[in-house]
Structure 1
């Protein structure tokens, strides 16, 4: 499986703490993750080595581990395998997704890096841009 990486950044007029809350509060996550698929949500523990399931309304998605986490600064997920109706599907190898926040004078730069199979790249690249814009709008409200 050939992987391609999305790399995007956005400047947000809010503290890193506020941006982090929008990223990972379960209700707020649903608002921006809808850019990928309406009804997207996650289950699990956002803690070092925690298991997370990123899911759509039909329980399709992927299961991941939290590879590294520094609250309000950075989180990296190692995507393990796809989920199909909640059951383990195709293995995802070394796919990783990282969110990094860098705050300077009350302005936070959010960096997103996400590896994925080549066939999903264009669709996910567009959805990621939309998601980052929603995160920005929620944080700046």
Structure 2
């Protein structure tokens, strides 16, 4: 497991960036870079269970399960991953989740004179390294465009 960092500067206030990143409708728009049907179920509230979902190329519901370990509005969000979604099943044990269960994805928001610096730190296993390194910058570019529109 490797921690990888992505950063972007967004010409918008931190409240707008935070709200756009986590809002139900706008979340779907910027995470479309990962899957055109991206969505989430649950809450961004600290301690809440959250599921990041989408439809696979074969038409099956899939995704990742997590818990919001921390959410300090407009400052920091930490997601701890705990399992997978496979159709209607939640998988939290076994070889499919062993490689990355307990990994984190953290968002840090810092505003300076109306410009927001967004930093994403994510734990990535070897299998997903290249995918995230090529796709996350595309997702952040979509987020930037949404926030600056």
User: Structure 1-normalised TM-score?
Assistant: 0.94
Counterpart of 2:75 in structure 1 is: 73
Tell me by how many angstroms 1:45 deviates: 1.2
Distance, in Å, in 2 between the alignment partners of 1:51 and 1:59 is 18
**Cα distance per residue 1:15-71 (max 9 Å; x no partner):** 000001110111100000000111000000110100000001232111100001101
When residues 77 and 138 of structure 1 are mapped into structure 2, their CA distance, relative to the original with a 3 A threshold, is: same
Q: Distance in 2 between matches of 1:9 and 1:86?
A: 34
Aligned length: 139
1:82 counterpart = 2:80: no
Residues 17-36 of structure 1 mapped to structure 2, 5 A cutoff: 17-36=15-34
Alpha-carbon RMSD: 1.0
Separation in structure 1 between the aligned mates of residue 72 and residue 4 of structure 2, nearest angstrom:
22
Unaligned runs of 5+ in 1: none
1:80–1:7: structure 2 CA closer, same or farther, 3 Å change rule? same
> Could you say which residue in structure 2 is the equivalent of 1:52?
50
In structure 2, distance between residues paired with 1:6 and 1:87: 29
Say yes or no: does 1:116 pair with 2:114.
no
